[in-house]
Amino acid sequence: MLIIIIVVVVAPTISSPKKPRVSDYLSVSHAGSFGRFLPYNQVEITLLGLRITAVLGNATSIVVQVDEGNQPYPENDVYKNITKGQYLDVTIQLEGCILPLEDGKCTIHIDIGCIEAAGPETIPIEILQEDIVAAGP
């Protein structure tokens, strides 16, 4: 008679807490921009102003990349800590960021992330025409 004994070893799994989405952890809004209005209902954004607020907790090592145009300086994309409930106004220098103006507004897309949130996440930022300070010709 043959007896087979099967031993099952179950290793305890260490579950890490699930990180919240970036859009839940941080609030991002437009805080004014500098640009140049072009023919054919277009605008070139040269400085993008954003207000980033830490909503769910402290936010560290915040990274912001703009999908349209080019960020010429690496220091544009990493920002320090923001304490929960506080905000940070950032200005991002852009080159070649030309957007269509439709119904008095345009949309720019940013990728944003921080250590505490799952990400990065792409967030659309609506820019109203009246929130763009125009450069000369």
How do residues 83-130 score in pLDDT, each as one tens digit?
Answer: 999 999 999 999 999 999 999 999 999 999 999 999 899 999 999 999
The angle formed by the CA atoms of residues 97, 66 and 100, to the nearest 5 degrees, is 35
**Confidence (pTM):** 0.80
For residue 25, the surrounding DSSP H or E stretch is helix 22-25
Mean pLDDT (the chain) is: 86
Domain 22-134, second-level architecture: Sandwich (2.60)
Q: Under a CB-based contact definition with an 8 Å cutoff, are residues 65 and 71 in contact? A: yes
Q: Under a CB-based contact definition with an 8 Å cutoff, are residues 63 and 71 in contact? A: no
**Each residue of 6-20: pLDDT tens digit?**
655 555 555 557 999
